[in-house]
Amino acid sequence: MNTVLEAARETPVLREADILVVGGGPAGFSAAVAAARLGAKVTLLERYNHLGGLATGGLVFWLPGYCPGGSRVYGGIALEWVQRVERDGGTSYRDITETKQGAMADPELLKQHALEMALEAGVDLIFHAWAASAIIRDGRVQGAIIESKSGRHALLAQMVVDGTGDADLVAWSNGEFVTGSKGLSLPYRLGGVNFDRYQAFRSDQPELFATLARELKERWENRMPVWPNPRCHNDLAWMNYWGPIGYNAVSVDDLTRAEIELRKNIFGSLRFFREKVPGFEGCFLVDTACQIGTRDSRRIVGGYTLTMKDMRSRATFNDTIGRMCDNTLVEITCDIPYRCLVPRGVEGLLVAGRPIDVDPQVHEASRLVPPSLVTGQAVGTAAWLAVKESIPPRAVDLAVLQRTLHEAGVYISTLAAPEDRAKKEPPSSATLAELATREDSD
Ligand SMILES: Cc1cc2nc3c(=O)[nH]c(=O)nc-3n(C[C@H](O)[C@H](O)[C@H](O)COP(=O)(O)OP(=O)(O)OC[C@H]3O[C@@H](n4cnc5c(N)ncnc54)[C@H](O)[C@@H]3O)c2cc1C
């Protein structure tokens, strides 16, 4: 690639904080709120106009692991956010069984409650600005260079949290990572749908339904909707699907090409639905996500790679910072070790959310919104402990970290009441079989 030599320049410092969180998705927003609630001075940077990342702007709001009134898996901020939305009537629950649970949450209410939680905690927010590079001084990440309508600025901090979902800060600081690719997609919503008619068609004519689903996938890389959008009078369909693969989520050219192809596919699908699918005859496009989404881009190399073997055996770890469940299977829970969040080869930086150190199979569960909230809360807490003690994050006292998280409502297996630990029975063979044949449902 051709290059140009940029002139050296002095860059004004826009903020100096204890902790800078880059990215206001589930991981970053949770990290910022956790640290600010403990007393840290936190700046949270987000390139779009809202918090919640793909869970809101990406129209990805199926949240596995919750049931009406609570969750058998999640506590802390991961529970609080969903319960606040639930109290506003913004959740719906479907197909809840003993082992499978999940909530659909209204994306606008998720945005609003994330914003309110951040403001209540005293987080200093910067919207509409992109982090463009990491500031590395004395061998340590100490902030980020940002670009916005106001120009180019520096944000300085004693600790930085990478909540970009793509481990941008890790890549810019020459940290180690592996690259995954699960393609890009752009969820959307269709209005004017007669869901009763559609569901009747699905159950009365399963073969025709399967034929149409295949045709939709082959022609437009889309899939049939499963449920209506939450709280929208049953006439709004949420279209969450696996888009075309082969695009790189951290390449600007690929993002542009994917955006063009996805929009062509959405309008192709719209025509397909109107012409062929009972219940969708009068449907129209309500909105497309304002953030294109990837399920996998970069995954960091940290101090431990969480594996499927760990998940199957419902592993517990001495450095646990919380737990997650496998997709919708609440019976299969696994501790998340702190080591998975500490990038190798970089100082002053912690990582939460989609890019944590897990194998590709576990990534199917760990990349989801609820575990991202858990790892976010953990790194926000750990970053503050590191700042207070003036120590690197890998030197944080694990007992203090776990106790602080436990007191904030996070389930920590090493601190669980003895009766909670005793309740832990191995997952049934039925759920293990489901785990083995897990559908790409999200
Ligand atoms: C199509 C699709 C469907 C999915 N379905 C589900 C589902 O149903 N349920 C589920 O739980 N999960 C689902 N997922 C996965 C899930 O949405 C994400 O993996 C999860 O949101 C990860 O959270 P995160 O905070 O790590 O990243 P993100 O949600 O991606 O948030 C990262 C945030 O950082 C910001 N950011 C990034 N780079 C910069 C930068 N350089 N400067 C400033 N800001 C930046 C982004 O704007 C974004 O707000 C789906 C994903 C996709 C793509």
Average pLDDT over residues 154-173: 98
Among candidate residues 369, 422, 415, the one with its CA nearest the CA of residue 74: 369
User: Does the beta carbon of 353 sit less than 6 angstroms from any atom of ligand 1?
Assistant: yes
User: Does the beta carbon of 183 sit less than 6 angstroms from any atom of ligand 1?
Assistant: no
Which atom of ligand 1 is least distant from the CA of 369?
11
Residue 271's H or E segment, with its range, is: helix 252-276
- pLDDT band (50, 70, 90) for residue 101: confident
11-180+296-442 and 184-294, same CATH topology: no
184-294 has which CATH code?
A: 3.30.70
Query: From its phi and psi, is residue 328 left (phi > 0), alpha (psi between -120 and 50) or beta?
Result: alpha
Alpha carbon 385 to its chain centroid, in Å, reads 24
Average pLDDT over residues 29-41: 98
Whether 354 shows a pLDDT value over 80: the answer reads yes
156 burial level (CB within 10 Å; 0-12, 13-18, 19+):
middle
Cβ contacts of residue 280 below 8 Å, gap of 6+? 190, 193, 194, 198, 237, 273, 274
Longest dimension (CA), the chain: 69
Residue 56's H or E segment, with its range, is: none
Rounded to two decimals, what is the model's pTM? 0.95
Q: Could you say which of 3.30.70.3270, 3.50.50.60, 3.40.630.30, 3.40.1440.60 is the CATH number of the domain covering 11-180+296-442?
A: 3.50.50.60
User: Does the beta carbon of 341 sit less than 6 angstroms from any atom of ligand 1?
Assistant: no
Helices 76-87 and 369-389: angle between axes, nearest 10 degrees? 130
For residue 199, report the distance from its CA to the centre of ligand 1, in Å.
30
Sheet holding 91-93, edge to edge: 62-64, 102-105, 91-93
pLDDT reported for residue 226: 67
Alpha carbons 376 and 30: distance in angstroms, whole number: 5
Alpha carbons 50 and 48: distance in angstroms, whole number: 6
Amino acid symbol at 432: L
Alpha carbon 403 to its chain centroid, in Å, reads 25
pLDDT reported for residue 243: 81
For atom 31 of ligand 1, which residue has the closest CA?
A: 25
Q: Where are the domains of the chain?
A: 11-180+296-442, 184-294
**Least confident segment among 91-95, 358-362, 376-380:** 91-95
Alpha carbons 411 and 371: distance in angstroms, whole number: 12
Whether 231 shows a pLDDT value over 60: the answer reads no
Beta bridge partners of 71: 66
Cβ contacts of residue 201 below 8 Å, gap of 6+? 208, 209, 277, 278, 279
Which atom of ligand 1 is least distant from the CA of 168?
41
Helices vs strands, H then E, count in the chain? 13, 21
pLDDT tens for 377-434 read 999 999 999 999 999 999 999 999 999 999 999 999 999 876 666 566 777 777 777 7
User: Does the beta carbon of 221 sit less than 6 angstroms from any atom of ligand 1?
Assistant: no
Alpha carbons 280 and 422: distance in angstroms, whole number: 50
User: Does the beta carbon of 23 sit less than 6 angstroms from any atom of ligand 1?
Assistant: yes
Which atom of ligand 1 is least distant from the CA of 130?
42
Whether 96 shows a pLDDT value over 90: the answer reads no
Ligand 1 pocket: which of 33, 164, 173, 222 to mutate (most atoms within 8 A of CB):
164
User: Does the beta carbon of 48 sit less than 6 angstroms from any atom of ligand 1?
Assistant: yes
pLDDT reported for residue 224: 85
pLDDT reported for residue 187: 95
For atom 27 of ligand 1, which residue has the closest CA?
A: 165
Mean pLDDT of the chain: 92
Q: Is the dihedral of CA 255, 258, 260, 263 positive or negative?
A: negative
